[in-house]
Structure 1
Amino acid sequence: MKIGILTQPLHSNYGGLLQNYALQQTLIRLGHVVETIDWEGGSGLRAMLYRMKVQVLHTLFPNRYPLLKYMPNDKEKSIIQRNTNHFINTYINHTEAMHSYEEFVKQASKGKYDAYVVGSDQCWRPCYNAFLPSMFLDFVQDKQVKRIAYAASFGTDKWEFTPQQTAVCVPLAKKFDMVSVREDSGVKLCKEHLGVDAVHVLDPTMLLTKEEYIQLIEKEKEPKSNGTLFNYILDPDAKKSAFIQKVAKAKGLKAFQVLPKCQAEIRTKEDVKERIEDCVFPGVTTWLRAFMDTEITIVDSFHGMVFSIIFNKPFWAIGNVSRGMSRFTSLLKMFHLEDRLLDADNLDDVDFSKPVDWTMVNGILEEKRRECKNLLLTNLNE
């Protein structure tokens, strides 16, 4: 069976790239031919109008709609993303990037897919998606194909679709043969707003084992990390920095990051124009190697938590409200790790020595991994 995957654009988001890689690998090992239908999030008239819309919404609702940053031109992107592009082009089978609905329609005809899998990485969150109806397969129209949503994510427990978006997506969602979601809150959102039953599943990255990621690291001959306390902080501030240094001192560890010197979340147009080398993302396997080498992780990212769990590294997760807290609470609840979540405004009284019961965590992960693979296998083969 030939399967087309739809997810977020293939740019420089480590978790986003690895969830796509993991889903592809899982489907390939189930015996299918797989490619990702890529789409370009930052160019074209539709994308420009989308950015204007988000700018207005951010002004009105700053906590709900993140402000979109300066978008580098193609030449600048090729430099900034050279390491992540290596991973994409080496390990992810993908189409040329789509820029319009018409290109999605052409690819559906050209690709001759027997099935589509839509999934993960907030692909169903309007503020992160210029082609929201296409993530519900509007371009497939009435073709007789399998429609699967695997770990589709709204990123939040609030319904953020406009009435118009809801009206468009409801009939599309009802055409799916199976809907599964990444957050437990997504089950309720699907039922109440889309009128479909959904199953709560693992993020695709958790379908692969630690050993499989280590093989990837070794294949790229990734050198040892330069520290022992990996901090992956997407929204840095003084409180988080002070907490990281406090933990490092208390545990006798060396703090380190794997991010551009000029971090994407806070870089300016001037940064890109005047010091572009400082904006370059380290490689995907460099990021993975950090989890392999660290003794403790401190993160404010969903996939930072995921890979800490996969690699069995004690971690602290600092809540990130603007990026969607339901992603944090849902994952931690699944593994009974709610006590690893910290309030960003209250980082003073943390017991750094609190252990994690990895035997329990690994048992849950193995069981869920088996269930999720069987769910995919059954629904694709029906």
Structure 2
Amino acid sequence: MSRRVLIKTLPLHTNYGGIVQAYALQRAIRDLGHRAFVDTGDPIPLRRRVVHRIWAARRAVRMLLPARLDWRWRAPREVLAAQQRFVRKHLATSSAVERADTPRGRARLAHRFDAFVVGSDQVWRAAYAEIPEQYLEVIEEFHGERPRRISYAASFGRDDIDEYSEGERARSAELIRRFDAVSVREESGIRICSEEFGVRAERHLDPTMLLTPDHYRALVARSGTAPAPAAGRTLIYRLDATDDMLRAERAIAERVGAPTMELLPTQPPTSYAEYAADRARFDRPSVEHWLASIASADFVVTDSYHGCVFSILFNRPFLVHANERRGAARFDSLLGVFGLEHHRAGASADDLDERVFAPDWAAVNRVLDAERERATAYLVANL
């Protein structure tokens, strides 16, 4: 039976991984025969929504002005334009949750969808998400027959919930116990659900890995993006520079014998004239270019979780610096699933494990196929 499914996730702004995981989960659910929509909002009172609409009208007017006259405001929109085109083209987004701030609004939301899926990414990390809204509090307050509620590869980002307040812990435990099924992305998430909330959880792959490499290559081909922009290069996908990471980048490039290519551009300048003189230097590449770059690189050095995910998916040799500030537990669990723990960089660039240069991709792909089948079975059984 086909269902109307609402995916509840984090805002789709500058994060390539966040955008692609939402796309992938939507596509995976649609491939099962359901109608899936992505919603990143939280309930907002009518008064605030009216204010938002007024500001939206002001933004529309400002967008008519030349960028040079209002550069400080226009800069993010200019720089992120290629990323946002992917969202508009490939994701069916909804603002249904935003309007569910009254009993009538919650009833309308609950009747509109047959199932709600929370995931993926760090949707259950208090530093990044609204807790307890990410546990579907909005439909818990609706009095009537509720739609199905599940999570898929929801992540706490870390191996504890110390960022939660006492009130958030109690309310989250109350809400998650009413889920029909709970899926988390990390092994540590299974323990958190058991010890903190008293519920059983399963671990599943990040949704980006539910789709095949050929699916992503087809996206690149349809967009007209060059299929191999990083061929012959050591690709650097760095979110936060550290001395250890910079040393590792130099060591890897020298060992591989391939010049480096940085995937993320320079931060945009405060001067429009400087930006206009060399837009390519500052504009964020499209999602398709991001995918093609990882797929074609000779070697990938990254501190990004999804940079690590796609290196595995595309079978590219890689080294990852687990980004402690952004959540290191994610890397340990991901690498452990595939037996690739040695791809995590140590404190020194001198202790590189030679196995990072020639991974056993056949073994990795066998695990990937089995994990993908198990994840699909979970979605089939619970939607």
Describe the shift of the 1:295–1:99 C-alpha distance in structure 2 as closer, same or farther (beyond 3 A): same
Amino acid across the alignment from 1:122: Q
Name the CA distance, whole Å, in 2 between partners of 1:225 and 1:211.
Answer: 17
Q: Report the equivalent of 2:82.
A: 83
Does structure 1 residue 229 correspond to structure 2 residue 231?
A: no
Contact 1:38–1:97, Cα closer than 8 Å, also in 2: no
Does structure 1 residue 188 correspond to structure 2 residue 191?
A: yes
1:233, distance to aligned residue in structure 2 (A): 1.0
1:243, distance to aligned residue in structure 2 (A): 2.2
Equivalent residues, number:
346
Q: Report the equivalent of 1:241.
A: 246
Describe the shift of the 1:172–1:289 C-alpha distance in structure 2 as closer, same or farther (beyond 3 A): same
Does structure 1 residue 24 correspond to structure 2 residue 26?
A: yes
- Does the residue aligned with 2:152 lie in a helix, a strand or coil? strand
Which ranges of structure 2 fall in alignment gaps of 5 or more residues? 50-70
Deviations 1:233-284 (A, max 9, x none): 111134322321222122210211221311xxxx89x589985956532110
Name the CA distance, whole Å, in 2 between partners of 1:109 and 1:281.
Answer: 38
Describe the shift of the 1:378–1:244 C-alpha distance in structure 2 as closer, same or farther (beyond 3 A): same
1:319, distance to aligned residue in structure 2 (A): 2.1
Does structure 1 residue 329 correspond to structure 2 residue 332?
A: yes
Deviations 1:136-164 (A, max 9, x none): 11111244201010001000001221111
TM-score (norm 1): 0.83
Contact 1:179–1:197, Cα closer than 8 Å, also in 2: yes
Q: Report the equivalent of 1:112.
A: 112
Name the CA distance, whole Å, in 1 between partners of 2:104 and 2:186.
Answer: 30
Q: Report the equivalent of 1:254.
A: 259
Deviations 1:51-105 (A, max 9, x none): xxxxxxxxxxxxxxxxxxxxx9874432232111100000011014966862998
Name the CA distance, whole Å, in 1 between partners of 2:241 and 2:89.
Answer: 31
TM-score (norm 2): 0.83
Q: Indicate the percent of aligned positions where both proteins have the same amino acid.
A: 34
Contact 2:151–2:181, Cα closer than 8 Å, also in 1: yes
Contact 1:216–1:285, Cα closer than 8 Å, also in 2: yes
Which ranges of structure 1 fall in alignment gaps of 5 or more residues? 47-71
Name the CA distance, whole Å, in 1 between partners of 2:102 and 2:263.
Answer: 35
- 1:109-188 matched pairs, under 5 angstroms: 109=108, 112-129=112-129, 131-141=130-140, 142=142, 143-160=145-162, 161-188=164-191
- Does the residue aligned with 1:5 lie in a helix, a strand or coil? strand
Name the CA distance, whole Å, in 2 between partners of 1:280 and 1:164.
Answer: 42
Amino acid across the alignment from 1:338: E
Name the CA distance, whole Å, in 2 between partners of 1:22 and 1:328.
Answer: 20
Contact 2:253–2:259, Cα closer than 8 Å, also in 1: yes
Name the CA distance, whole Å, in 2 between partners of 1:249 and 1:45.
Answer: 55
Deviations 1:356-381 (A, max 9, x none): 1111100000001001001100111x
Deviations 1:197-251 (A, max 9, x none): 1001110001001111101110111113155211111111343223212221222
Name the CA distance, whole Å, in 2 between partners of 1:87 and 1:330.
Answer: 29
Name the CA distance, whole Å, in 2 between partners of 1:271 and 1:32.
Answer: 47
Describe the shift of the 1:97–1:85 C-alpha distance in structure 2 as closer, same or farther (beyond 3 A): farther
* Displaced runs of 4 or more, over 3 A: 72-77, 96-101, 103-108, 270-280, 351-354
Name the CA distance, whole Å, in 2 between partners of 1:242 and 1:202.
Answer: 31
Contact 1:258–1:286, Cα closer than 8 Å, also in 2: no
- 1:66-105 matched pairs, under 5 angstroms: 75-96=74-95, 102=101
Q: Report the equivalent of 2:319.
A: 316
Name the CA distance, whole Å, in 2 between partners of 1:108 and 1:184.
Answer: 35
Amino acid across the alignment from 1:199: E
- Does the residue aligned with 1:236 lie in a helix, a strand or coil? coil
Describe the shift of the 1:105–1:372 C-alpha distance in structure 2 as closer, same or farther (beyond 3 A): farther
- 1:274-293 matched pairs, under 5 angstroms: 275=275, 279-293=282-296
Larger Rg: 2
- 1:5-16 matched pairs, under 5 angstroms: 5-16=7-18
What is the Cα-based RMSD across aligned positions, in Å? 2.8
Describe the shift of the 1:376–1:105 C-alpha distance in structure 2 as closer, same or farther (beyond 3 A): farther
